[in-house]
């Protein structure tokens, strides 16, 4: 359990046994002294117990079945990775699934899109500075987030310094969360680095959002080659979904690129997400597309993606 000093924001680990002993004596609060700034403050026993209880009940509710782990990735930026991760995660949670969204991008935009400013996230989990419970933020009902951000640069250094097994660093850190969720979605940064390799050693399914333009399509074939190199060492990782994004139905080019993709990847190709301004407006209000513009075509498109991924044809209809 963690107590945060309201004066200097320093986090202190406390033994759950000590807190349970207070609770047994029917004490409502305890007087804590910050070891860093010596500030004295009261802490509610009830709120500490509640945080712990929430973690336990989430673990029980998810039936102990391992989560489906899907990473949303493509080396090219601006193709809709974060938009797709956030809205797919939100849609699955609205459909009743327990979802964890892990942001492995130093830009940390996933939490921003959900209107959250996490104090801790993936970095603190990977450095083991804080227990998982204090790194997760409940963004919506059924939807939790492990925030990314600039501090992930430090995580990359930790991975670099490992002399062996570096590609499993993320998997080791996330392993305890496996049975607490139905879906774990991982948003990735553009480019190709040791953190993305870690993601591909952790996830089992790959979703590639691809903007319907020539350059992103080229980027996709490059990515498929890199994925092949990983698959030599990790058979479990499979390209499962290709999601065409930014489909502009008014012009011919994107339509013909879509048809081309359909010929190349008939099994993997999902229904496209159409170009829609609401998708770029919603994040500045901290809202998902379902909250910001439920009637917009993009909302319909992401609902369709939720059905495709969950295999539940009656989800969100």
Ligand X SMILES: Nc1ncnc2c1ncn2[C@@H]1O[C@H](COP(=O)(O)OP(=O)(O)O)[C@@H](O)[C@H]1O
In the shown chain, the binding pattern of residues 200 to 239 toward ligand X, with x for contact by CB under 6 A and - for none, equals ----------------------------------------
Instruction: Return the one option of Mg ion, ligand X, none that residue 79 interacts with (CB less than 5 to 8 A, by type).
Output: ligand X
- Counting Cα atoms < 13 Å in the Cβ hemisphere of 109 gives 21
Indicate whether 81 belongs to the interface with Mg ion (CB under 5 A): yes
**CB 78, min distance to ligand X, A:** 4
The site partner of 98 among Mg ion, ligand X, none (C-beta below 5 to 8 Å per kind) is none
In angstroms, rounded to a whole number, what is the distance separating the alpha carbons of residues 262 and 70? 22
Name the residue nearer to ligand X (CB basis): 198 or 245.
Answer: 245
**Helix (H) or strand (E) segment spanning residue 72:** strand 68-72
Does residue number 76 form part of the binding site for Mg ion (CB under 5 A)?
Answer: no
Choosing from 73, 83, 299, 310, the residue that interacts with ligand X (CB under 6 A) is 83
**Among ligand X, Mg ion, none, residue 80 binds (CB under 5-8 Å by kind):** ligand X
110 binds ligand X, rule: CB under 6 A: no
CA distance 260 to 266: 10
Using CB under 6 A, count the residues that bind ligand X.
17
Per CB under 6 A, contacts with ligand X among 259-288 are: 273, 275-276, 279-280, 283
- Are the C-beta atoms of 242 and 216 separated by less than 8 Å? no
Q: Which stretch binds ligand X (CB under 6 A): 79-87, 121-129, 141-149, 200-208?
A: 79-87
Regarding 245 and contact with ligand X (CB under 6 A), the answer is yes
Return the sign of the alpha-carbon dihedral for residues 133, 92, 168, 114: negative
In angstroms and rounded to an integer, the radius of gyration of the C-alpha atoms of the chain is 21
Q: What kind and span of H or E run contains 201?
A: helix 194-202
Whichever of 79 and 137 has its CB closer to ligand X, that residue is 79
- Write the burial class of residue 21 (CB in 10 Å: 0-12 exposed, 13-18 middle, 19+ buried): exposed
Cα distance between residue 30 and residue 26, in whole Å: 11
Residue 310: count other Cβ atoms within 10 Å of its Cβ: 20
Q: According to the binding rule CB under 5 A, does residue 110 interact with Mg ion?
A: no
Distance CA 63, CA 288 (A): 28
Contact between 80 and ligand X by CB under 6 A: the answer reads yes
List 73, 75, 82, 198, residue binding ligand X (CB under 6 A)? 82
118 phi and psi, to 5 degrees?
A: -65, 140
Query: What whole-number distance in Å separates Cα of residue 51 and Cα of residue 117?
Result: 18
The listed partner (Mg ion, ligand X, none) that binds 198, CB under 5 to 8 Å by sort, is: none
Least gap, CB of 193 to ligand X (angstroms)? 15
Tell me 83's DSSP state.
H
Using CB under 6 A, pick the residue from 81, 98, 140, 240 that binds ligand X: 81
Q: Does 246 bind ligand X (CB under 6 A)?
A: yes
Strands (E), 236-299: 238-245
Cβ contacts of 65 within 8 Å, gap of 6 or more: 179, 182
- Given candidates 73, 82, 194, 304, which one binds Mg ion under the rule CB under 5 A? 82
Question: By C-beta, is 54 or 150 nearer to Mg ion?
Answer: 150
Interface contacts to ligand X, rule CB under 6 A: 77-83, 190, 245-246, 273, 275-276, 279-280, 283, 298
- Chain residues that interact with Mg ion, rule: CB under 5 A: 81-82
């Amino acid at each position: 359990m963690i107590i945060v000093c309201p004066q200097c924001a320093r986090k202190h680990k406390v033994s759950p046994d000590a807190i349970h002993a207070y609770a047994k004596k029917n004490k409502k609060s305890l007087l804590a002294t910050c070891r860093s700034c010596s500030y004295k403050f009261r802490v509610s026993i009830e709120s500490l117990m509640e945080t712990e209880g929430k973690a336990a009940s989430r673990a029980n509710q998810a039936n102990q079945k391992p989560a489906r782990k899907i990473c949303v990735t493509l080396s090219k930026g601006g193709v809709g990775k974060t938009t797709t991760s956030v809205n797919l995660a939100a849609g699955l949670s609205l459909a009743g699934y327990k979802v964890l969204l892990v942001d492995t991008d130093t830009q940390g935009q996933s939490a921003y899109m959900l209107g959250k400013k996490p104090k801790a996230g993936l970095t603190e989990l990977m450095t083991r500075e804080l227990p998982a419970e204090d790194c997760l933020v409940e963004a919506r009902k059924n939807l939790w987030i492990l925030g990314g951000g600039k501090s992930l640069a430090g995580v990359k250094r930790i991975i670099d310094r490992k002399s062996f097994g570096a590609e499993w660093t993320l998997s080791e850190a996330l392993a305890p969360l496996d049975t607490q969720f139905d879906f774990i979605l991982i948003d990735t940064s553009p480019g190709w680095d040791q953190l993305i390799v870690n993601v591909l050693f952790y996830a089992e399914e790959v979703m590639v959002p691809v903007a319907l333009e020539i350059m992103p399509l080229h980027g996709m074939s490059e990515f498929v080659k890199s994925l092949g190199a990983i698959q030599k060492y990790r058979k479990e990782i499979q390209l499962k979904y290709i999601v065409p994004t930014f489909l502009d139905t008014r012009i011919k080019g994107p339509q013909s690129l879509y048809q081309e993709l359909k010929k190349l990847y008939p099994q993997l190709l999902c229904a496209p997400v159409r170009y829609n301004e609401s998708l770029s407006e919603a994040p500045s209000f901290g809202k998902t597309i379902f909250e910001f513009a439920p009637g917009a075509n993009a909302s319909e498109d992401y609902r369709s993606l939720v059905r495709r991924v969950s295999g539940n044809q009656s989800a969100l209809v």
